[in-house]
Amino acid sequence: MNTPPLYTSKRTAKSLWQQYRIYPDRVELQSWFLFHTIIVPANEIRTVEVRPPGLIWGIKLDNCNFCRHVLLTRKSGCFKIIGFTPEDPEQFVAICKSTHFGTA
């Protein structure tokens, strides 16, 4: 658990000052609204993709309806579809895909 993150999103107004991190084995989504950090293991990620502004069905951690955002789909769990806005959505998705998250 002491491994440094591969990517850490800066806190911005678009993300409502929340932080999103990618580790080699998981994604961590800090959420002020849910009062904890959502940890999604790599083997639970079905897809991860960049989406344009627009309404989504699922959990929204920030202003993702109004900005380019990341849509993460899990294989199981209560929150299967999660939308959030890291500082650089394209880079976030590229790093996830380079570590083979959401490619199975």
- pTM metric for this prediction: 0.89
Q: Span 71-75, mean pLDDT?
A: 96
Query: pLDDT tens digits, residue range 43-69?
Result: 999 999 999 999 999 999 999 999 999
Strand order in the sheet with 59-60: 45-51, 69-74, 81-84, 59-60
The domain segmentation of the chain, as residue ranges, is: 7-98
CATH 2.30.29 fits 7-98, yes or no: yes
Radius of gyration of the chain (CA): 12
Q: Span 22-39, mean pLDDT?
A: 87
Q: How far apart are CA 51 and CA 60, in angstroms?
A: 13
